[in-house]
Amino acid sequence: MKFGVITFPGSNSDEDAFLAITDVLGQEGVKLWHKDHDLRGVDVVILPGGFSYGDYLRAGAIARFSPIMREVVAHADRGGPVVGICNGFQIACEAGLLPGALLRNASLQFVSELCRVRVETTETRFSNQYAPGQILRLPIAHGDGRYTADDATLDRLEQNGQVVFRYVNAKGETDPSADPNGSMRGIAGIVNERGNVLGLMPHPERAAEAIVGSADGVALFESLLAQVGV
């Protein structure tokens, strides 16, 4: 399967995503450049973490106007899978690929730690290799991760099973003190209505090998592979 990782000016986890896909999963990786007008035939697009355009103004606000984003939106409209990780999640929201917005952490501090999230649904092409309710250890590292949307949107996300990951405590329960950034309803990751665009604040690509603390992110990418049956 062919994964394309986009590099925006200021992306800093593009290499991490690329290596997780190629070195760890043994899949084909394609480095895509923000000025490109072509996705070069990739099956999955990854919008990586980092600080595109310095995150100046608002995280993800400027990157969404990059030339390549037009192709990404078209790819998503065709039903092609897109994974927005951290800054990529912010870009996806700004681009309207996902509902809501990611605001400054409630603590007003950048937060970096190995957090816990619970898999809320395995019925997505990004989570079918997890067990229902499975608790994952994934690194987070962000200053703007407070997921925010109006109540109607939140209700709709819940009803449609679009909430994929939620922050939980060591017991696996949602708990405001286990929500590292003040996200509404503890939301760490969502899919769009059609189920082909995933956005999440934690970094599955940084949790691809036990040697660096966790390999719990691997199954996210394996879920995509299972779908296509490569």
Partner 1 sequence: MSRYRVAVHIVPRRGLLDPQGKAVADALHSLGFNGVRDVRVGRHLVIDADAPEPQSAERVVRDMCAKLLANPVTEDFEIANVEQA
Partner 2 sequence: MTVLPRPGDPVITPALVAEHGLTPDEYQRLVDMLGRTPTFTELGVVSALWSEHCSYKHSRPLLRTLPTKAPYVLQGPGENAGVIAVGDGLAVAFKIESHNHPSAVEPYQGAATGVGGILRDVFTMGARPIAMLNSLRFGSLDHPRVRYLFAGVVKGIGDYGNSVGVPTIGGEVVFDPAYETNPLVNAMCVGVMHERDLIRAKAEGVGNPIIAVGARTGRDGIHGASFASEDLSHESDAKRPRVQVGDPFTEKLLLEASLELIKSGHIVAIQDMGAAGLTSSSAEMAARGDVGVTIDVTKMPVREEGMTPYEILLSESQERMLVVAKRGHEAQVKEILAKWDLSAEVIGEVIAEPVYRVTEGDRVVAEFPGSRLVTDCPVYHPDARESDTIAALRARDVDAIRERPEERDAAWTLRELLSSPTIASKAWVYRQYDTSVRTNTMLGPGGDAAVLRLRGTRKALAVKTDCNGRYVYLEPRVGGRIAVAEAARNVACTGARPMAITNCLNFGNPKRPEVFFQFREAVGGMAEACETLGTPVTGGNVSLYNESPNGAVFPTPVIGMVGLADDVDHVTRATFQQAGDTIVLLGEPTSELGASEYLARVHNVTAGAPPRCDLQVERRLIDLLLEAIQAGVVSSAHDCSDGGLAVALAECAMADREQRFSATVDLSSWSGISKRAMLFGEAQGRVVVSTDSPARVERIAAARGVPVRRIGIVEAADRPFRIEYAGGQLVAPLEQLASAYHNAIPSIMTRVAVADDALAADAPSTVGS
Tokens (6 digits) for 51: 């600080």
SS3 225: helix
86 is catalytic: yes
Among 34, 75, 142, 203, which one carries the catalytic annotation?
203
203 is catalytic: yes
Kindly compute the dihedral angle of the four CA atoms of residues 83, 168, 12, 199, in this order, to the nearest 10 degrees. 20
When CB distances are held under 5 to 8 angstroms depending on the partner's kind, the choice from partner 1, partner 2, none that residue 65 binds is: partner 1
When CB distances are held under 5 to 8 angstroms depending on the partner's kind, the choice from partner 1, partner 2, none that residue 143 binds is: partner 2
When CB distances are held under 5 to 8 angstroms depending on the partner's kind, the choice from partner 1, partner 2, none that residue 101 binds is: partner 1
Regarding 152 and contact with partner 1 (CB under 8 A), the answer is: no
Given a contact cutoff of 8 angstroms between Cβ atoms, the answer to whether 226 and 218 are in contact is no
15 is catalytic: no
Given a contact cutoff of 8 angstroms between Cβ atoms, the answer to whether 228 and 1 are in contact is yes
Q: How far is CA 137 from CA 23, 115, 128, 166, in A?
A: 21, 6, 17, 12
Given a contact cutoff of 8 angstroms between Cβ atoms, the answer to whether 66 and 90 are in contact is no
Tell me the residue type at 147.
Y
**Using CB under 8 A, which of 26, 57, 159, 229 touches partner 1?**
57
Alpha-carbon gap, residue 67 to 72, rounded angstroms: 9
Regarding 148 and contact with partner 1 (CB under 8 A), the answer is: yes
Regarding 136 and contact with partner 2 (CB under 8 A), the answer is: no
E runs forming strands in 98-205:
101-103, 111-119, 135-142, 146-148, 163-167, 187-191, 197-200
Determine the interface stretch with partner 2 among 39-47, 57-65, 117-125, 159-167 (rule: CB under 8 A): 57-65
Q: Which of 32, 48, 52 is nearest to 84 (CA)?
A: 48
Q: Of 73 and 101, which CB lies nearer to partner 1 in the complex structure?
A: 101
Regarding 208 and contact with partner 2 (CB under 8 A), the answer is: yes
Regarding 18 and contact with partner 2 (CB under 8 A), the answer is: no
- Please, which of residues 72-111 interact with partner 2 by CB under 8 A? 104, 108-111
Regarding 113 and contact with partner 2 (CB under 8 A), the answer is: yes
Regarding 209 and contact with partner 2 (CB under 8 A), the answer is: yes
Question: Which residues bind to partner 1, rule: CB under 8 A?
Answer: 53-54, 56-58, 61-62, 65, 93-94, 99-101, 103-108, 148-149, 182
